[in-house]
Structure 1
Amino acid sequence: MNRRTALVALGGLPLCSQAAPAPLPVAAVVTEYRTNSHADVIIGKMLEGWGQDGGKGPALKLVAMYVDQFTDRDLSRALAKKHGFRITRTIGEAITLGTSKVSVAGVLSIGEHGQYPYTKFTRQHMYPRRRFFDAIADTFEKCGKAVPVFNDKHLAYNWTDAKHMYDRSRALKIPFMAGSSLPLAWRLPARALPRGAEIEAGMAVAYGGLESYGFHALEMLQCLMERRKGGETGVASVQVIKGKPIWKEEALGRWSFDLFLAAVQGAGRKMAAEKMRDIFEKKGALMLIEYRDGRRAAVAMANGVARQFGAALKVRGQAQPFVNHFWLQDGKPYRHFEHLVRAIEPMIHTGKPSYPVERTLLVTGILDRVMHSAAEDGRLFKTDELKIAYQPADWPFANFNGRFPIPH
């Protein structure tokens, strides 16, 4: 068994059933580190095990961390003393450990949480993900060596920054992954959509903020839509609709309330259909997406209706929709992030991303247009810039083939 095969196996089976490779040194670049922050629920699994209880964890060893903002709830300094990693003054120092060379095997950039401003018009949260990435890339250029980088959540709050990051990663040949834990979470039922499925329409339902949780909903949808026949072709237009016009768009065939119902009910929500319609009209937002191959999909941010993440697809030749409930652990140790780390781990050991960063690039572009459409009263945006074609990977979700049962 070679190193890549061993690491892929580690991602696919409980760690106790595999011989773990030697841990590799990694650096982390984070906005802040407090209890239940993304830094905590990701990096914490490297420091204190998958359950953050002192047990076994990934074959990765944190050796340095750059923290952008220290608060009175900061955990990083105490953890540095406990685990022996360095808190650095600069991002470059975290990567080089104060030398003239890259001294780590990978970098995790976690630009989520902390006190950062919002854009005035569109209310997009201006996390410093491009600043973090550029400082990482600058260090690679200076040292003449690049190592794998993982970027948490969407690449950046705006398309220009995201495309810059993607293009620079390609120019410097940086193995690059990004995204949400949603595609890796437990699915109920535990079935994967076959590659090449003839999807006619897609629907995702979610709750939370339009940008912060809308990203998760979009990645959930995209990890299914990309598996359609021919693979991903890119997105032609994006629009956000609110209020009574939602039903006009349904009558025009741009989205399906039947798929909405299937996704909500598949995620365990019991509510009369008419009540759902009333609440969604008053509180919801509907993202309408048209792909370049003519397929249509929608994301319903259905606060007051949805309490979980769910998706439903209309597949040609199937009488019933394909439905998945994406289950998350709503409490420490938030083990859906374990499965994100399980996907990051083999990339750092092998230099090969577990799934394409193009998925997150595309979703970042969709989300940027979503935020602008919402700010401009539902303007439809043509998205020629989102001609992003790629093929999906087959990296498994948490309980695929019974791998990791839902924790209780």
Structure 2
Amino acid sequence: MFNRRKFLQTSGAGAATGHWALTDRLRAELFAASQQASTAGKKKRVAVVATVWTYLSHAQHICDRMLVGYPHQGRWHFPDLQVVSLYVDQKPEGDQSLQRADEFGFTVYPTIEQAVCCGGSDLNVDAVVIIGEHGNYPRNNKGQILYPRYEFFQQVVNTFTASGRSVPVFNDKHLSYSFDKAQRMVATSRQMKFPLLAGSSLPVTWRMPEVELPFGCEVEDALMVGVGSSDAMDYHALEAMQCMLERRKGGETGVRSVQMLTGDAVWRSGADGRWSKNLLASALSRSDLILGKTLVDARPQDLVGSGELPRLVKEPAAYFLEYVDGTRATMLMLNGAVGDFTFAARVRGLADIQSTQFHLPPEPNVTYSACLVAKIEEMVLRGIAPYPVERTMLVSGILESCLESRIRENQEIQTPHLQVRYTPPAKSQYCRT
């Protein structure tokens, strides 16, 4: 059993023999403990289908937590999940797939079908986890990385069809770079009647402070701040904003139009009142990673009131959304000003602006992925996705349409295809402990 005494003994050995001895022994102890920890019966068998498995890749973040456990609600939790098979599409320098397979006793298969069938002729797992993030893949004219998530999914469901049964599926981040493909994935899960969960860690990570918009509220205006590269990190920001706005009165009704602006047009749109400087100031007040002068002498900064933003942010981008019910929202990508994801909204009936930070603990720990794995485990054990996959489908389409606006010289794009309706759970889904 892995306990404090074992940890101290292992730590002492590590101090004498070096870091790698410590790491290996701790990993072995954790793995042994995880194999003994399930009191609810046999662990659910999981097949993983990934683009790559390297250090700090999403496959490493997610799968290591299934292999050795993760912190959850104030304790170390050993999930009732067992990785039994893996397909990895690429093995670049730094590949960890074979090492992890050797350490933890699962098999790496050359095809998705073999991974899902564990080398046999029929489906032989209780769930499939698809992680199509990272790796060397081309981009299209919108700048989207053509990760083969849809193709992975199709190969999985082809095996379901051949076997005459299906199991829950999790898909990391976007369903696809293509809304049409995303729709087909959701339609297939409905037709074949298996739970499909998708998305990233941001909707379920900790919030600082703990803010949830009242279920059924009227949102007067909303603004999200994101950072990072396009297609990867703007997806995160749009998804985080969507998980807040979907709680508004009437549930989600879809998006009527989008527009993306870049460069000086972003600042001009703010001066014209298209997005709220008060909401931006409130969102930025929740940031823990203020850049610019703060990095030089630690001084506090009013980034909005000081006029520093245009100097700090060399390539600003604004994503404007108009929902079918008339709600308007803006997402600003502000690389160079801050380093985290924050949100603010004005809600009818509430005197104060509601604002929060989506907390992302730093590398290499990235504990926020534990919050996501907890939701994956919940779906696999209960057989029900804890929140609608339609959120991810809608955000996949929003991002695709915004990037289409960018290549069309920032035109407003009408989006009748994004009239996606769904009702989120009233119960909050994000981590609190």
Same fold (TM over 0.5): yes
Q: Closer, same or farther in 2 for the Cα pair 1:19/1:316, shift >3 Å? A: farther
What is the aligned counterpart of 1:271 among 268, 277, 301? 301
**Cα distance, 1:56 vs structure 2:** 4.2
Give the match for residue 325 of structure 1: 357
- Asked whether 1:335 is paired with 2:364, we answer no
Q: Closer, same or farther in 2 for the Cα pair 1:331/1:248, shift >3 Å? A: closer
**CA distance in 1 between partners of 2:347 and 2:415 (Å):** 25
Give the match for residue 252 of structure 2: 232
Q: Closer, same or farther in 2 for the Cα pair 1:42/1:358, shift >3 Å? A: same
Identity %, equivalent residues: 39
RMSD: 1.9
Q: Closer, same or farther in 2 for the Cα pair 1:202/1:19, shift >3 Å? A: farther
Q: Closer, same or farther in 2 for the Cα pair 1:102/1:241, shift >3 Å? A: same
Say which SS state the counterpart of residue 411 (structure 2) adopts. Answer: coil
What is the aligned counterpart of 1:71 among 92, 99, 117? 92
What is the aligned counterpart of 2:165 among 145, 148, 166? 145
Contact 2:222 2:344 (C-alpha < 8 Å) held by counterparts: yes
Give the match for residue 114 of structure 1: 135
- Asked whether 1:346 is paired with 2:390, we answer no
What is the aligned counterpart of 1:184 among 204, 211, 225? 204
- Asked whether 1:24 is paired with 2:44, we answer yes
**Cα distance, 1:101 vs structure 2:** 2.2
Report 1:150-229 matches (<5 A).
150-229=170-249
| Structure 2 gaps, min length 5 | 1-36, 291-299
Deviations 1:343-392 (A, max 9, x none): 01011112100110000000000000111112222111100000101111
Give the match for residue 285 of structure 1: 317
Contact 2:220 2:346 (C-alpha < 8 Å) held by counterparts: yes
- Asked whether 1:397 is paired with 2:430, we answer yes
What is the aligned counterpart of 1:361 among 390, 393, 404? 393
Say which SS state the counterpart of residue 285 (structure 2) adopts. Answer: helix
- Structure 1 runs, 4 residues or longer, greater than 6 Å off: none
Deviations 1:38-60 (A, max 9, x none): 00000010112216xxx642110
**Cα distance, 1:245 vs structure 2:** 2.5
> Larger deviation: 274-283 or 125-134?
274-283
Amino acid in structure 1 at the alignment position of 2:90: Q
What is the aligned counterpart of 1:380 among 387, 403, 412? 412
Deviations 1:96-140 (A, max 9, x none): 112232111100000000111111x21110101011000001110
Amino acid in structure 2 at the alignment position of 1:299: M
**CA distance in 2 between partners of 1:23 and 1:229 (Å):** 40
Give the match for residue 257 of structure 1: 277
Give the match for residue 115 of structure 2: 94
Q: Closer, same or farther in 2 for the Cα pair 1:77/1:18, shift >3 Å? A: closer
Number of aligned residue pairs? 381
**Cα distance, 1:334 vs structure 2:** 1.0
**Cα distance, 1:319 vs structure 2:** 2.5
Contact 2:260 2:406 (C-alpha < 8 Å) held by counterparts: yes
Q: TM-score, normalised by structure 2?
A: 0.84
**CA distance in 2 between partners of 1:279 and 1:353 (Å):** 44
**Cα distance, 1:396 vs structure 2:** 2.5
Q: Closer, same or farther in 2 for the Cα pair 1:276/1:240, shift >3 Å? A: farther
- Asked whether 1:84 is paired with 2:105, we answer yes
Larger Rg over CA atoms:
2
Amino acid in structure 2 at the alignment position of 1:170: R
**CA distance in 2 between partners of 1:107 and 1:46 (Å):** 13
Say which SS state the counterpart of residue 279 (structure 2) adopts. Answer: helix
**CA distance in 2 between partners of 1:165 and 1:332 (Å):** 32
**CA distance in 1 between partners of 2:205 and 2:97 (Å):** 27
Contact 2:224 2:283 (C-alpha < 8 Å) held by counterparts: yes
